[in-house]
Amino acid sequence: MNANDPAVASLLQAIRVLPGKKIVTLACAGADDLTQVDVSASGVIGHADGHDLLLKAKLHRALVSGGGMIIRQFTQIKMQTVSANGKPLWIPIKNLYGVRMERGRWRGLSALDVRRACEADVVAKGGADREQWVRYRAFGDCALSPSRAGARE
């Protein structure tokens, strides 16, 4: 892994500037597992030593081999629901952002593309329940990684 990869650094910075707590879910092409890492409101990655290095390594791999990422940003707004035992439960509304990675570059997804990706995942899982109380958002105004600035699709 290139510890100084500017695409990894710019992506992490774009995640860190989102206010509040986040959960990053990363999928790399060719890998069967997903990587999930918490990012604190202050930008700290993970809750144990090495989580930041693990995420950087996985991001680099996704940038090289292809991959995607969903960022769940927890807002201060909460919705009330009823738990299985009948007690009231308050669930935070989440903003969902998406990123596509390939050929050493990343691109933030539009809100519509994030929604489509999440709906495709529900279908792929055999109609599992769609996540509740989410708002689909464009990531970084669909920012391009530094190496992509000015490039055309």
For 97-130, how does the pLDDT look when each residue is reduced to its tens digit (9 = 90+)? 999 999 999 999 999 999 988 887 655 555 556 6
Residue that the structure tokens 């860190």 belong to: 16
Average pLDDT over residues 45-64: 92
Q: What's the CA dihedral at 8, 142, 62, 113 to 10 degrees?
A: 160
Q: Is the pLDDT of residue 21 over 60?
A: yes
CB 27 within 8 A of CB 69: yes
Q: Taking the model in full, what pTM does it have? A: 0.83
Residue 125: predicted pLDDT: 56
Residue 93: predicted pLDDT: 93
Mean pLDDT of the chain: 85
Q: Read off the pLDDT band of 131 (50, 70, 90).
A: confident
Q: Is the pLDDT of residue 74 over 70?
A: yes
- Range of weakest confidence among 7-11, 113-117, 141-145: 141-145
Q: Is the pLDDT of residue 140 over 70?
A: yes
Q: What percent of the chain has pLDDT over 70?
A: 83
Distant-in-sequence, close-in-space partners of 14: CB < 8 Å, separation ≥ 6? 108, 139, 140, 143
Residue count of the chain, please give it: 153
Instruction: Name the 3-class secondary structure at 139.
Output: coil
Residue 58: predicted pLDDT: 93
Average pLDDT over residues 51-76: 93
